[in-house]
Amino acid sequence: MSTRFTQVDVFSAHPTRGNALAVVHDADRLTDEQMAAFARWTNLSETTFLLKPTLEGADYRVRILTPLQELPFAGHPTLGSCHAWLEAGGQAAGDRVVQQCAGGLIEVRREGERLAFKGPPLVRLGAIEPDIFAKALAGTGLTPADVVDSAWVDNGPGWMGFLLRSRAQVLAIKPDFARLKGMRVGIVGPSEKGEDTDCDFEVRGFTAAGFEDAATGSLNAGLALWLTEAGHAPHSYVAAQGTMIGRSARLFIARHDADIWLGGHCRSVISGKVSL
């Protein structure tokens, strides 16, 4: 089959400086095997497939695949898929787009030139188990004294969060992916007064597949829920991610009551057709 294809750069106003996402439109005729094979072939952190919704209230359905597995929810695939769907002529039934994914229904709204999604609830929270905590520290080269606070911030993919004292500490980490294998570790630290940066926090996300992610919506949504609830962050802030791998992603966080809205810019970089 041949269908529309879009490759979107997510979480950056400057194309190629955010996180790339492959989007296959009108994918209802594809089999699970074809989707998995294409996701492996793109070798991007995620590839998404747009399908007709099966739940009442949803405008479209998305399946989110990494080269290794399918995810119930992920942030940059949510915004990038919505951007591609709208650009292809998608029309929301209500004042917000409602995306159906394996993790449930996710609301997406426009915020000027940006799109923002409402973060799903955490499926795992609280203290990180001592053995997992120790393994994560070993893989990041941190000591317990470096960590201000830590917690599970898992809204589907399996992230844990570590708060450090400064942005500089976050940028100094040299991850050992052999030791981090199988874990998703998010590190966050605040910018210090007088620093030459436009962000309030620096974030790094080390994936279970053994690479550093350029911009991670699910991690940042989970971190925002935890950080604001614990009093470590204001209810509105900007996070930077991807700095150490040559990207300049910016994620815009706003908390309203119990809801976290996470936004960013999206730009289509490649458009065409895919033949499978």
Active site amino acids: 46
Contacts 24+ apart (CB under 8 A), 23-28: 23/47, 23/48, 23/49, 23/50, 23/80, 23/81, 23/84, 24/48, 24/49, 24/50, 24/274, 25/50, 25/84, 25/85, 25/88, 26/50, 27/3, 27/51, 27/63, 28/52
Cβ-count burial of 61 within 10 angstroms (0-12 exposed, 13-18 middle, 19+ buried)?
Answer: buried
For 165, other C-beta atoms within 10 Å of its C-beta total 14
